[in-house]
Structure 1
Amino acid sequence: MVAMTQPPDRSPNFQLLFESISDYAIYMLDPDGRVTSWNRAATQMKGYSADEIRDQPFSRFFTLEDRRAGLPEKLLATALQDGRADAEGWRVRKDGSRFWAQATVHPVRNEDGEFLGFAKVTRDMTQQRESQQALLESERKFRLLVEGVVDYAIYMLDVNGTVTNWNRGAERIKGYQAQEIIGRHFSTFYTPEDRQAGLPARTLATATREKRFEGEGWRMRKDGSRFWASVVIDAICDDDGRHIGFAKITRDISERRAAETALAQSERQFRLLVSSVVDYALFMLDPNGIVTNWNAGAQKIKGYTAEEIVGQHMSRFYTEGDRAAGVPLRALSTATEQGRFESEGWRVRKDGTLFWASVVIDAIRDETGKLIGFAKITRDVTDKRNAQLDLQRAQEQLAQAQKMEALGQLTGGVAHDFNNLLMVVSGQAQLLRRRVGEDPRAQRALDAIEMSARRGEDLTRHLLSFARRQRLQPVSVALAERMAGFKELVSTSLPPTVNLVVDLSPALWPVKVDVSELELALLNLAVNARDAMPDGGVLSMVGENVTFDGGPGEQDLTGDFVAVSVSDTGVGIPPDILPKVFDPFFTTKEVSKGTGLGLSQVYGFGQQSGGRVTVRSELGVGTSFTLYLPRTRVTPKAARPVEKAADAEVTSAVILVVEDNPEVAEVAAGLLEQLGHKVRVVGAAAAALGALQDGDPPDLVFSDVVMAGEMDGIALARRLREQHPGLPVLLATGYSQAAERLGDEFPILRKPYKLNELSRAVNAVLNGPTQPNDGKLVAFDAARRARAARRKRTG
C-alpha cells in the first residue's frame, strides 16, 4: 500500500491552492478508504483536524444506517469500476451533528497507471436542500388542497389546451378518471355546437391575451349528459414571464341556473338570485388554526380580503360566547383526533353581522400521517335553517292540533253515556221530590243529588265545548254594548285585592258568537287569572280589531277578527307546562280547586266559533290569553226584555217515548206522567213505527237520538215526517255527532233535562211555533182535530 499524505503534485502553488479552497472538503484516501491527506475546508466542514483523521477510515463520516448498508464500500467500488462515483446524503461531523453532503469520488493512478487510492471532494448542501424542501413542501400542501376539493374541477392545461393533471373534483363532476383524460384536449368537455363555433379556442385566446377567462355554459360529461358550468381559466407564466399553460376551474351550477331561469331572466332577478345562492368559503389552516390561504368564496361570505385575514386565527369568525367556551379549539381537536369535524352554528362576518354556517373541517396529513394543517369549508345556510325552524313550528302546531282533535273525539264519545247516567240520577231525584213530602233530611239529600248532577252536567258541557261538539246558538253581538254585563259577571268571581280593568271600545267590530258560551269562557279566564294572583294584582280585559292574511305565526287565521285579551300580573306559567294548559283535566291546582276543564272550554269555544285562543306567559310577570272571534257583517239587534210565552200549557197528551236505555226511559216516562201526560214506551225506532200502525197515533213522539239498530232518532223523525206529516216529534240527546249537523230541522232537548225544561219543550212542540217553520211542527189542537176526523171517516 502506498501512503499519501499530500497531493501528488508537491508544488507550492498547488499546495497553496489546495489549502485555500474553503467550500469543498478535498482529501485523499488510500485503496482501503483510509484518509491520507486533509485540507482546511475538510476540517471546517467535518470538525476533524488532519492529525485526528489521518489513517482513519472515511466511513466514519457516514451515518450508522449507511455504514450498515455498506454504502462507503459501494461508493469506492463504483468509483473504481466507472472511474467516478457521485452521491448525496446525510453525513456526520465530529460532534455528531448531521449535514447534507454532495460528494464525488475519483480513483487516483500514477503515470504508469498504477492505482494509488481515491480523491474525494465533498460539499455541504444543507441550506440548498432546506430551501428546496420548503419549496417542495409548499407545492405538496397546495397539491393536497387541490386534490381535497370535490366540489370544483381543478386541473391544468398546456399552452395548446391539452389536459396535464386532474383532481378528484374534476373526476366527480365530469366523470373521467385521470388516466382517461390526461393527454386529451379540453375541448372534449364542450358541446358539439360550441366546438363547431370555435368556443374552446376563443376561451384560450382570451385567457392568453387578458390572463383570465371567466364564463358559463353547457359542458359534457363522460356519459354524454350536460351540465351548466361556471368556468375560470387563468394563464400561467413562469418566472421569466413565458406562457407555460393554463389553470382551469369548473363548477357544476346546474341547479343554480335552473333556479335563475325559474325566477326570471331579467338582470335584476339574476342579481337577486346570485346574492341568495349558497357559495362556499374554502381555505386552509395550519396545525394551530392560523389561516394560510383564502379563496373568493370566503371573501364573499365573511367579508375579509386575503390580505386582511391570512395569518389570523380562525377563531375570529366565531362569536364572543363561542370563543369564551373554547368552541374553536374543540373543533380543531375533534378534527385532529377523528379526521373530520362537522357542525352548524352562528359565525361573524367582518362587519359584525351573524350568519348561520354549516362548517366542515378536515385534517390534512402528509404521507407519513403527520398533521400539516386543516381544510375548512364554510357554507351560509341561514335561509335553510329558517325554513327548517318554520317547518318545525308547523309540525309542532300540527301535532298539537292532532292531540287536541284526538282528545276531542274521546271526550265527545263519552258525553252521550255520561249524560244518560246524569239523566237517570237527576230524573229520579226529581221524581222522588214529590214522594218524600216535606221531610227536611230527604229534601237536603235530594238537593245534594241534584247539585251533583248539575256539576256533572257542567262538566260534560265543558268537555263538549273543548271537543267542539257543543250545540251553539251564535248571534251577532257588539261587545262594547255588553261591557257592563261582562264586567259585572267577572267581578263576582274576583276578590277585592284584584283590580279589574275592562276596555272594550265601541269601535270594535261586531262578532257572531254564542253569548252564554262567551260569558262562560271569559269567566273561566278570569277565574284562572284570579288564582294566578294570590296576593292580588291587575286583571285586564282589552279588545282590538285585527286582520290576518294567513302569514306565518297567525294561527292559520285569515280575515277580520276581534281579539279579546284577558291578562293578569300573576306568577306566570312555566315553559314546560304552557303547551298543556288547554288539555282536559290538566291542572296544577289542588284537587278541590278546579277540574282542569276551564281552559279546555275556552279552547273549544274559540275553535267552534271559527277563531282561536292563544297564550303568552312569562314567569314573575304574568299571563295573557287572547281569544280571536271572527267579525260578522250582520248588525247586532238591540237587546229586548224577555217576554213570557203566550202558548197555553198542555195539561194532558198521549206521548210515545222511544228510548233504548230502560233506566232513561223510566225516568222520561215518570217525568211526563208527573206533568199529566199519558205515556207509552218502546225501546227502538222499529217498534215505534209498529206502534203507530197498530193503534191510534199519539199526540207527540219523544225519541232519543242515539239508539241501537239500523235507525236512530233522527232517521225515525224523518220517517215520521213522511208517513205522519201532522205528528209532532221532539228529540233528546246527551250528545250526538249526527244531531250536531241537524241544525233546526227538529227541536232537540239536551240531556240531562229538568222537569220544567221538559214541560216547556213539550208545550212548545205541541202548541206549534209562533213563526212559520216550513211545516216541521203543527199545533197540538189542529193535530188532534185531524186525527179525530180520520178516525170518523174510517169508523
Structure 2
Amino acid sequence: MNGKRSKKDLAAADWAQQWARGTTDLAVFALTPEGRVSSWNPGATSIYAYQPDEVIGQHYSMLFPEDARSQETLESELNHAIERGSCAIEGWRKRKDGSVFWASVVTTVLSGEDGSLQGFVKVVRDESDKRQAHDAVIESERSFRLLVQGVTDYAIFMLSPEGNVSSWNAGAQRIKGYASDEIIGSHFSRFYLPEDIAAGVPQRALNTAAREGRFEAEGWRLRRDGSRFRAHVIIDAIKDEAGTLIGFAKVTRDVTEKLEADQVLEQTRAALLQSQKMEAIGKLTGGVAHDFNNVLQILRGNLELMTSRYGRDEWLMTRLVNALDAVDRGAKLSSQLLAFGRRQALRPVSVNLASMIRGMDDLLRRSLGETILIETVVSGGLWNAMVDTHQLENVLLNLAINARDAMPDGGKLTLELSNTMLDDRYVRTLSDVPAGQYVMLGVTDTGTGMTADVLERAFDPFFTTKPEGVGSGLGLSMAYGFVKQTGGHIRIYSEVGQGTTVRIYLPKSSVEAHEPATNANVAVMGGSETVLVVEDDLKVQATVIEMLTGLGYGVLKADNAEQALVVLGSGVHVDLLFTDVVMPGTLKSPDMARRAVQVQPHLKVLFTSGYTQNAIVHAGRLDEGVELLSKPYSRADLAFKVRHVLGSPGDSFPNNDVRQRQQGKASELDILVVEDNELAREALTELLATLGHRAVAAGTASQAFAQIARHRFDVLLTDVNLPDMPGTDLAAQASSFCPGLIVIFASGAPIEEDDSRAFTWFGLLKPYTFDDLQAALREVLDGSDKRASLG
C-alpha cells in the first residue's frame, strides 16, 4: 500500500513539475522551510527576469521591494500559510531590474507523510494591469467626489427612489442654505413652494424622470431662510444593470440673476428703441427749427422795424403787435422742439432748487388759479444741482400747467425736493443715466391720472390727450429732452383716478449756489462801434443790418466765413463779429471766429443761431467763453446782447433812429473809394453810407479815372498799393483833374511826407476803427489842410 502511494505521489509530483515547467504566465517556484528558493519555472523567469541559477538557493526576500523586506512581513506571509495550509495575498514585488509590479501570490505548504513541513510552493501572477485599472477606478471615483463637492455654482445631490436626499454637495449648501446633516434623509419636496407641493409638482417630477429617464424644468424654489430663487432643475433616473431604479441624480442651478438679466436686457432693448426713436425725431426737429427760426427772425426783425417807424398809427400798431405775438408763439414752439431734440444751448450753473422754487411761487399760483393748493416739501440738507435755471423754470411751469389741466375741479399740487442716489441696480437699464448722486424734483398732482397706453407715449412729441387746439403736446417731451441734455433722468408714475407724479433727477453740484442776476427794465442801448454781420440767409442778413444800423452801429456784411475773413484781413477795424453758427462751406463758423481773433485780437465774437448742432455746444452745454443769441430775437434782445458782449456803456434810446442823432453829419460828401479787395471795398462803401455820405467804388486806378471822368468827388479814399498804379500816383493825377480834391490814403504803414504833393491829404492807418474813419472825414469837413497821419 505504501509503495503504491509513493508511486502515486511521485506521479503527481512529476505532473506538477511538468505543469510548472510548461507555464509561462505564472511564476511557480518552491521554497525550503527556511524560505530559500529551491525551484524556478520559466514563468518565474518571464515575470521576475531572474535565471534559475541567479535565484535558486537565495532567500525569497530578494523578490520584495526594499521597503517590504521586514522580517515581520516575510514571517507573517509564511506563518499564515502554515496555519491555514495556504495563503493568498496581493502586494508589490520586485523584478531583477529593480522595477516593481503588483502581484497576486498564493503560498501553499508542502508537508511530508508525517505532517512535517517540507517547504512551500508559491504561485505568482502579475496583476499590474488589473491594479492600474483598479487604481484608475478609485482615482476616478475620488476625483468625481472631489468634483461634485467642489462645485459651488450647482446643487448636486442624490435622491432615493422615494425622493429622500442621500448626498449633498457644497453647491447645494450654498444655494439652498442647508448643511448636509440638516437635509440628508429628508424629502426633497421641502425645497418647493407650498402651492407647488399642494399641486403635486415634486412627485410628478420624479414620476417623469423614472418613466422617461430625465426631467428638466424651471421654477421657484425656497431656501432655508424662506427666500425664493429661480431654479433650473434636472432630475436623472439612476438604474442598475438589471434596469431597476435605484435612485435619482438631481442638479439645480440658481438662475435668478439670469432671469433678472433677461428682464433687464428686454427693458434695455425697449429703452434703446425708444432712444433711437427720440434721437431720430430730435434730429428732424432740430433741422426744422433752424430754418423755422430764420423765418421767424425775418418776421420779427421787420415787424419791429415797422413798429419803430409807424408807432403813432394805432390801427397798424395793433396788428403789428398781434403779429409779434404770433412770432413769439412760433418761437416758443421752436424752442420746445429744440429742447425735445436736446439741441438747446444750455448754461448750467450750481443752483439751490429750493430758492428757485420759492422765487416762482407767485408765478405758479397765478398760473394754477385759486382752486389748486400748492404745497412745497424740501428735505433737510438739500444739495445744489447743476442745471440751466431758465430752462428748468420753463419745465416746472409746463409740468404745473399739465397738472392744472388734469385737475379741472381743483386739487393739490405737491412740489418735493430731496437728495437721492441712483445706484447701479437702478440705472442698469438706463444706458444714458450714470449712477451717482442727484437732486430729485418731484411734481405730484391729484388729477385724473394716465392709463398705461398714455403713460407709454407721454414723452412723444405732439402726443396729447387734450382737445384739439388745446396745448401743443410738447410740454412733457420738452421736459424729457431738457433733462436728458442736462445729464439727468426723468420718470413718470401715474394711476387712473389717483393722480400723476413726475420725478426729475438733476446732477448734484458741489459748487456754491450761483446767485442769479436781477432783470431790470432798462432802455435799449446802442453804440457807434463797427459790427461785421456774417449771415448766409440774405433776408435775415438785411433785417439784422437794418436793426443794428438803427441802433447806431457801423455795419459790414459777409455771406459766408471765407468772405468774413477777407473783410477782417483788409485792414478795416471791426469791434464785433456777429455770425450765424450754421454756415455753408468747408470753413465752419467757430473755426472762422478763432482765425478772426488771430487777425484782430481785440475782436469780440457773438454767435447767433436757431439750431447750434454741436458747433459751440458739447455735452449739452454751451462752450466756455462763448456768447450766443438764439433766434428769433427781438430788437431789445439784440441791443442788450451786443452791448453785453462789447462791454461798453453805449447810448440809450428807445425807438428813434440813431443815424438821425449822429454827430458830424452836417454835410454829405461825394467819395471815391479805390480798393482792389472786393469785400473790403464793399465793406468800406457801406460804412461811408452809414455815415451819410455818397460813395462810389473802384477796384483799380483805371476804373477810378473812369469814375472821375463822369463825376465830381470831394474825397479820394484810396489804398496805397493798387494792382496797376501806386495810390500816391493816382492821387497826384486825380487832384489835377479835380481841383480841391482831398485825398485820404489807407495803408498798413505810415505815409511818408512829400512836399511835392500839391493836394491836401490825410493818412488812415490800417486797421482803422469806425471812429478813426469818422475823425478823418470830420477833418475833411472842417476844411483843415493839416497834413498829419491819423493813426
TM-score range, shorter chain: 0.5 to 0.7
- Structure 1: how far apart are the matches of 2:426 and 2:226? 28
Cα distance 1:508–1:693, how it changes in 2: closer, same or farther (>3 A)? closer
Q: What residue number does 2:705 align with?
A: none
* Equivalent position of 2:360 in the other structure: 486
Q: Name stretches of at least 5 consecutive residues in structure 1 with no aligned partner.
A: 1-157, 162-180, 191-199, 201-218, 220-228, 233-248, 258-273, 771-779
Aligned length: 532
Alignment gaps of 5+ in structure 2: 1-88, 93-127, 651-690, 692-766, 778-787
* 1:574-653 pair list within 5 angstroms: 574-636=451-513, 641-642=518-519, 649-650=526-527
Structure 2 residue aligned with 1:212: none
- The CA RMSD measured in Å over matched residues stands at 4.9
Kindly tell me: are residues 505 and 384 of structure 1, through their superposed partners in 2, closer, same or farther at Cα, counting changes over 3 Å?
Answer: closer
- Work out whether residues 278 and 381 of structure 1, in 8 Å CA contact, stay in contact via their aligned partners in 2: no
CA contact (8 A) 2:155 2:251 kept: no
Deviations 1:164-205 (A, max 9, x none): xxxxxxxxxxxxxxxxx9956346649xxxxxxxxx7xxxxx
Per the alignment, do residues 436 and 337 of structure 1 end up closer, same or farther by CA in structure 2, a change over 3 Å counting? Answer: farther
1:279 partnered with 2:158: no
Q: Please, which of 774, 778, 784 is the counterpart of residue 770 of structure 2? A: 784
Counterparts in 2 of 1:487 and 1:458: CA distance versus 1, 3 Å: same
Is structure 2 residue 499 aligned with structure 1 residue 499?
no
User: Aligned letter for 2:417?
Assistant: G
- 8 A Cα contact 2:486 2:506, kept in partner: yes
Trace 1:149-548 onto structure 2 (pairs within 5 A). Answer: 185-186=132-133, 189=136, 231=142, 250=145, 252=147, 277-283=153-159, 291=163, 294-296=166-168, 305=183, 307-309=185-187, 318-322=192-196, 342-348=216-222, 352-360=226-234, 377-386=251-260, 388-389=262-263, 404-405=278-279, 407-433=281-307, 443-504=317-378, 507-547=381-421
- State the secondary structure of the residue aligned to 2:333: helix
Summarize the Cα distance change of 1:440–1:751 in structure 2 as closer, same or farther, 3 Å threshold: same
Instruction: Say if 1:330 and 1:439 are closer, same or farther in 2 by CA, change over 3 A.
Output: farther
Q: Which residue of 2 aligns with 1:705?
A: 581
Q: Is the 8 A contact 2:558 2:564 kept in 1?
A: yes
C-alpha separation in 1, matches of 2:374 and 2:298? 41
| 1:716 paired residue among 576, 592, 599 | 592
Work out whether residues 734 and 751 of structure 1, in 8 Å CA contact, stay in contact via their aligned partners in 2.
yes
Distance 1:515 1:536, change over 3 A: same
1:751 aligned residue: 631
What letter is aligned with 1:738?
A
SS at match of 1:465: helix
Query: Could you tell me which amino acid in structure 2 is paired with residue 630 of structure 1?
Result: P
1:533·1:571 contact (CA, 8 Å) conserved in 2? Answer: yes
Q: Distance in 2 between matches of 1:299 and 1:654?
A: 83
- Quickly say closer, same or farther: Cα 1:432–1:322, change in 2 above 3 A: farther
The answer on whether the counterparts of 2:525 and 2:551 sit within 8 Å (CA) in structure 1 is no
Structure 2 partner of 1:170? none
Give the Å deviation of 1:470.
2.0
- Residue pairs, 1:676-715, within 5 angstroms: 679-692=555-568, 696-697=572-573, 700-715=576-591
Q: Check whether the contact 1:347–1:357 (CA below 8 A) recurs between aligned residues.
A: yes
Task: Say whether residues 1:664 and 2:540 are aligned partners.
Answer: yes
- Aligned with 1:492: secondary structure? helix
* 1:284 positional shift: 6.6
Change (3 A) 1:743 1:252: same
What is the identity, as a one-letter code, of the residue corresponding to 1:498?
A: I
Query: In 2, Cα distance between the equivalents of 1:512 and 1:382?
Result: 38
1:495-517: CA deviation from partner (whole Å, max 9, x where unpaired): 44432111235742333432212
CA distance in 2, matches of 1:521, 1:328: 57
| 1:384 CA drift (Å) | 4.4
Change (3 A) 1:338 1:769: farther
**Shift of residue 454, structure 1, vs aligned partner:** 1.7
Contact 1:477/1:511 (8 A) holds in 2? yes
Shift of residue 708, structure 1, vs aligned partner? 0.6
Q: 1:695 to 1:399 in 2, by over 3 A?
A: same
The alpha-carbon distance between structure 1 residues 623 and 342, as it changes in their structure 2 partners (threshold 3 A), is: farther
**Structure 2 CA distance, aligned partners of 1:479 and 1:768?**
33
After superposition, where does 1:732-751 map in structure 2 within 5 Å?
732-736=608-612, 737-741=614-618, 743=623, 745-751=625-631
Partner of 2:526, secondary structure, is: coil
The amino acid across from 2:609 in the alignment is: T
SS class of match (1:342): strand
Deviation at 1:632, TM superposition (A): 3.3
In structure 2, do the counterparts of structure 1 residues 186 and 401 end up closer, same or farther at CA, with 3 Å as the change threshold? farther
- Which whole-Å CA distance do the structure 2 matches of 1:696 and 1:782 have between them? 6
Query: Which of 414, 417, 442 is the matching residue for 1:565?
Result: 442
Per the normalisation by structure 1, the TM-score is: 0.56
Work out which of the two has the higher radius of gyration on C-alpha atoms and give 1 or 2. 2
Greater RCO, CA 8 A, separation 6+: 2
Between the aligned partners of 2:440 and 2:286, the Cα distance in structure 1 is: 28
- C-alpha change, 1:320 and 1:457, in structure 2 (3 Å) is farther
Deviation at 1:785?
Answer: 4.0
Letter in 2 for 1:753: Y
Contact 1:427 1:668 in 2 (8 A): yes
Partner of 1:760: 640
Output the CA distance in 1 between the equivalents of 2:524 and 2:387: 29
Q: Following TM superposition, by how much is the alpha carbon of 1:611 offset from its aligned partner in structure 2, in angstroms?
A: 3.2
Q: Equivalent residue of 1:725, what SS?
A: coil
Residue 752 of structure 1: CA displacement?
A: 0.7
Are the structure 2 counterparts of residues 709 and 485 from structure 1 closer, same or farther at C-alpha, using a change threshold of 3 Å? Answer: same
Q: What is aligned with 1:103?
A: none
- Secondary structure of the residue that 1:417 maps to in structure 2? helix
Judged with a 3 Å threshold, the aligned counterparts in structure 2 of structure 1 residues 182 and 320 are, in CA distance, closer, same or farther, namely: farther
Shift of 1:714: 2.4
Residue correspondence of structure 1 range 125-164 to structure 2 within 5 A: none
Q: Judging changes above 3 Å, is the alpha-carbon distance between structure 1 residues 740 and 185 closer, same or farther for their aligned structure 2 residues? A: same
The one-letter amino acid of 1:541's match is: L
Work out the percentage of aligned pairs sharing the same amino acid. Answer: 40
> Structure 2 vs 1, CA of residues 707 and 371 (structure 1 numbering), >3 Å: closer, same or farther?
same
The TM-score normalised by the length of structure 2 is 0.56
CA 756–352 in structure 1, closer or farther in 2 if over 3 Å, else same = closer
> What displacement does 1:664 show?
2.0
Contact persistence 2:342–2:482 (CA under 8 A): yes
Q: Supply the distance in 2 between the matched residues of 1:482 and 1:634 (Cα, whole angstroms).
A: 16
Q: Matches of 2:318 and 2:198 in 1, distance apart?
A: 73
Q: CA deviation at 1:394?
A: 5.8
Alpha-carbon contact 1:656-1:698 (below 8 Å) kept? yes
After superposition, the C-alpha distances for 1:302-346 in whole angstroms (9 at most, x for unaligned) are 668564428xxx6x7543455677867887898899886533120
1:552/1:338 Cα in 2 relative to 1: closer, same or farther (>3 Å)?
same
SS state of the match for residue 508, structure 1?
coil
Cα pair 2:349 2:388 within 8 Å, conserved = yes
Shift of 1:606: 2.9
Against the structure 1 CA distance between its residues 327 and 432, is the aligned structure 2 distance closer, same or farther, given a 3 Å change threshold? farther
